[in-house]
Amino acid sequence: MKKTGAISSLLLAVAIFAVGCGSTESANQTSTSKPPEAGAVGVKKIIVGTGTKFPNVCFIDENGKLTGYDVELVREIDQRLPDYEFEFQTMEFANLLLSLETKKIDFIAHEMEKNPEREQKYLFNKEPYVIWKTRVVVPKENETIQSLDDLKGKRAYTTATSAAAQILENYNKENNNAINIVYSNGSANDAVNQLTQGRADATLGSDFSLPLIDPQGKLKTVGEPLVSSNVLFMFRKDEQEAQVLSDKIDEVIKQLKDDGTLTKLSNHWLGGDYTQ
């Protein structure tokens, strides 16, 4: 009888322990960006690479929360794709492309402009969520620089691996390195200090991004647009799963445009509708 009682006690203890383990696992599964749904075992986790230094686009707010236009757009897309769970991984902008190539992240959300050089190496979704018109940016008091040609012999400040850097580099290839390109891995609003303190003569930027990085209005855009670019999400090329996800994201962006959500996000974060 004593032996039987001991065995019964042991089985009861094992049962309690098993229930306890099950409760812990369930708690871990629910600590995601959105509640698990029926059949959540088939949900695929996607790592989204972004930054923290682009005001109103991807940044850390006063409460320590990652937010901004690109971030909140990805969260909205996440809510409309129940088969996926998106998780952000933040890093310096210059590290995003390498992280994508080495499969540390699955796609990039950081105002990535589509251009021929990038299109050769990466996959972009088809439905743009912002349209950029890139111009030359100079200090407000400057009256001599109006174009890239006016930057010959001068210093142009840009972020390494950016679309703006590609424009400057392409110009230099055709003009015997006429522009002295100053690269930085710093935050977007570093350009204001570089230009106003005379360490660079100009930079490149879009009409909508300038007020975000220069709220005091120390800089201005000049001349005609150098390029008009679609802003899209960037994936690894020639991967079937990436293409499937890209296509599904396109469907959601179309929905967001049709129901006005994308315009609302743009107005809130970017100060106007830059989605068309």
Mean pLDDT in residue range 165-193: 90
Q: What mean pLDDT comes out for the span 226-236?
A: 95
Helical (H) or strand (E) element with 14: helix 2-30
Q: How many angstroms from the chain centroid is the CA of residue 189?
A: 16
What's residue 42's pLDDT?
85
Q: Where are the beta strands (DSSP E) in the chain?
A: 44-50, 53-54, 58-60, 66-67, 84-90, 107-113, 122-124, 130-139, 155-159, 180-184, 202-206, 219-236
Comparison of pLDDT for 36 and 220, the residue scoring more: 220
- What CA–CA distances, in Å, run from 108 to 74, 90, 171, 187, 216? 10, 10, 26, 17, 30
Q: Return d(Cα 134, Cα 229) in angstroms, integer.
A: 8
Name the DSSP class of 218.
-
Which pLDDT belongs to residue 214?
A: 92
Q: What CA–CA distance (Å, rounded) separates 184 from 79?
A: 35
End-to-end CA distance of the chain: 81
CA-angle at 158, arms to 157 and 161, nearest 5°: 155
Count CB-CB contacts under 10 A for residue 44.
Answer: 13
Say what the pLDDT of residue 6 is. 40
Query: Residue 75 corresponds to which tokens in the numbers above?
Result: 């969260």
Residue 230 tokens read as 């679609």
Residue 143: pLDDT above 70? yes
Question: Model-level pTM?
Answer: 0.74
pLDDT at position 186 is 63
| pLDDT number for residue 218 | 96
pLDDT at residue 27 in the model: 29
Radius of gyration of the chain (CA): 24
Q: How far apart are CA 41 and CA 25, in angstroms?
A: 13
CB-neighbour burial class of residue 74 (10 A; exposed 0-12, middle 13-18, buried 19+): buried
Q: Helices in 80-208 by DSSP H: which ranges?
A: 96-101, 116-121, 163-174, 190-196
